Chains A and B, each alone.
Chain A
Amino acid sequence: MRRGPWLWAAALAVYAFLYLPLVIVIVYSFNDSRLNAEWVGFTWHWYEVLLHDEDMLLAAGNSLFIALVSSSIATVLGTMAGIAMQRYNLRLLSFMVLTPVAMPEVLLGVSLLLFFIQVLNLTLGMISIILAHITFSIGFVAVIVRARLAGMDDSIFEAARDLGATPWQTFRHVTFPLILPGVVAGWLMAFTLSIDDFVITFFTAGVGVSTLPLRIYSMIKIAVTPEVNAVSTILMLLTLTMILLATRFAPDVLKGKA
């Protein structure tokens, strides 16, 4: 295969570009200095500060709760949508599932803000955030589940039917066990997206409830301290674990996203 030295050099430079900024954030989270400038010495100080930051811990708790609830509901709805899209070729449903994934996030954020306030008369908070997160997560779960189903031989389902299985029995004993890795990967993906989401949460959170990204945003905007580096490092570890788990359950997730 043709892989010249120039190609290697260019590709390695791009890998460096991808990783350098994150490495710097991690390194500075252990730096014994208030400034993100020069290396002074090793410390756990910023992690201790983080442990005593009640606002941050509360926001983290909110984020976890929102992510758990929204990803679980989105997984149920997204799995249904994925099966329906693959099996019945429903164009309108496919359009409704995929468009929220493809359009700029700010559009979904402001239209939901309008809808919650003007039509539902809902006080923005936990519920509005969860509903918004479900809306944008369904598409990701559906795409993963559909990719899993598309790789399967339809004759398995026909065989189950011919052997006298009801549609429910076919689903319970044949379809579901087969798509389970995709469902788990979809759930992990929805969880990660929810815990990370900033833009849509920003518009649907109101004033009362804060999440981890909202808290990080206000710290970045107002006063940057290396505490941001510490919380970033922990979040990176968490999402890294989630992604590695997702790729274990469904190795084709990466390709499904592309």
Chain B
Amino acid sequence: MNEQEKIRLTPAARLGKWLVSGPPFLFLLLFFVAPSIIMVLASFRYPGEFGALAPIASADSDTLHGLTLETYEFFFSDIIYSYVFFKSFLVALATTLICLTLAYPLALLIARSPKKSRDLMVLLVVLPFASSFLIRVYAWMILLGPQAALSQVINGMLGVFGIAQVYLLFSPFAVLVAMVYVHLPFMVLPLYTNLEKHDPSLLDAAQDLGANAWQRFWQVTFPLSLPGIFSGSALVFIPVLGMFAIPDILGGTGDMLIGNLIKEQFLATRDWPFGSTLSIMLTIVVLLLVWLAVRLGRTRGRYA
């Protein structure tokens, strides 16, 4: 509401404002803001003897543990951690690009369909996404399994040329396929929302000016759809970056991503300070990406 409305708030209305915003604010302060702060603090602590965190101070002076930058030094001392971040970044980039390639024609078709059928076509994109996440990952365990048709066909063809058999399951390939499958609707929906708003007369104008179908797409439709591409990419890239379940289920031992590293630190190695450090590094990367997406969206939006 505008400034005038604010001044006009009566005491009763002001009470209403606090009653409405207070409970969700307090809940999220306690269960979202506080845990985030605790995690930042935990990254500067020492790990406890039996996992978790070491006490800040104890009666015995030998076991006095203050705050430390050790976990951060550790992160940068071993190249393997930066490598896992880099690899996760590449997987997220590849997933985003493949999702974009698959989602674009679909979103374009829906946007150019008669109004009546659009809702149904969108619903058909969302429905598989409504089934449980684990089921959608599990489905690829069946599809990529060694006895499944896909593996049989590929290995049959490879066999003709005398090439060794490939194992599709528990591979980077399986991880990538499932990443794309699980996140595809996040790309289709924002793209469709953007494409739907395009004025068809722009394409007619381009055609009258002699542009062929290829030019019409690359010089009219595509530039106008950039804000949709940016928001869709953010919605795919960010969750993929932190994903641990898909590499955990479909990947091999070498396919660890940041999410798996964090999970290991918290549940297996039980080095919580280092786990927190990794989580904070991931948060920083995510925030940078969001900032970038918002900025890009804004500059591009001006021309749209």
Supposing A3-B112, A25-B139 touch, asked if A106 and B21 sit within 8 A by C-beta, the answer is no
**B140: A residues at CB distance < 8 A:** 21
Kindly state whether residue B174 has any CB partner on chain A within 8 Å. Answer: no
Kindly state whether residue B23 has any CB partner on chain A within 8 Å. Answer: yes
Instruction: Tell me the bound Cα distance from A236 to B131 in angstroms.
Output: 5
Instruction: Tell me the bound Cα distance from A7 to B103 in angstroms.
Output: 11
Of B24, B109, B266, B282, which contacts A84 at CB under 8 A?
B24
Report the nearest A residue to B186, measured CB to CB: A258
**A83: B residues at CB distance < 8 A:** 20
**A163: B residues at CB distance < 8 A:** none
How far in angstroms is the closest Cβ of chain B from A143? 13
Whether B102 and A17, one on each chain, are in contact in the complex, defined by CB atoms closer than 8 angstroms, is yes
Kindly state whether residue A186 has any CB partner on chain B within 8 Å. Answer: no
**B53: A residues at CB distance < 8 A:** 118
Whether B145 and A37, one on each chain, are in contact in the complex, defined by CB atoms closer than 8 angstroms, is yes
Of B32, B109, B266, which contacts A96 at CB under 8 A?
B32
**A51: B residues at CB distance < 8 A:** none
Whether A37 and B38, one on each chain, are in contact in the complex, defined by CB atoms closer than 8 angstroms, is no
Whether B193 and A255, one on each chain, are in contact in the complex, defined by CB atoms closer than 8 angstroms, is yes
Instruction: Tell me the bound Cα distance from A96 to B181 in angstroms.
Output: 29
Of A6, A104, A134, which contacts B27 at CB under 8 A?
A134
Whether A35 and B132, one on each chain, are in contact in the complex, defined by CB atoms closer than 8 angstroms, is no
Kindly state whether residue A18 has any CB partner on chain B within 8 Å. Answer: yes
**B243: A residues at CB distance < 8 A:** 104, 106
**A84: B residues at CB distance < 8 A:** 17, 20-21, 24
How far in angstroms is the closest Cβ of chain A from B39? 4
**Chain B residues with a Cβ closer than 8 Å to the other chain, count:** 89
Whether B105 and A11, one on each chain, are in contact in the complex, defined by CB atoms closer than 8 angstroms, is yes
Whether B135 and A251, one on each chain, are in contact in the complex, defined by CB atoms closer than 8 angstroms, is no
Whether B279 and A37, one on each chain, are in contact in the complex, defined by CB atoms closer than 8 angstroms, is no
**A156: B residues at CB distance < 8 A:** none
Instruction: Tell me the bound Cα distance from A96 to B241 in angstroms.
Output: 21
Kindly state whether residue A203 has any CB partner on chain B within 8 Å. Answer: yes
Q: Jot down 19 A-B pairs with beta carbons below 8 A, ordered by A.
A: A7-B108, A76-B23, A81-B21, A84-B20, A96-B28, A96-B29, A104-B239, A106-B243, A117-B52, A167-B12, A213-B134, A216-B135, A220-B134, A220-B138, A220-B141, A240-B131, A251-B119, A255-B193, A258-B192
Other A-B contacts than A87-B20, A103-B286, 16 sampled, CB-CB below 8 A, are: A18-B128, A21-B181, A22-B128, A24-B143, A25-B138, A76-B23, A80-B20, A84-B20, A87-B1, A92-B25, A96-B28, A103-B242, A106-B262, A131-B31, A220-B138, A235-B135
Chain B positions near chain A (C-beta within 8 angstroms): 1, 12-13, 16-17, 20-21, 23-25, 27-29, 31-36, 38-39, 42, 52-53, 102-103, 105-106, 108-110, 112-114, 119, 122-128, 130-143, 145, 147-148, 181, 184, 189-190, 192-193, 200, 203, 213, 238-239, 241-245, 249, 259, 262-263, 266-267, 272, 275-276, 279, 282-283, 286, 290
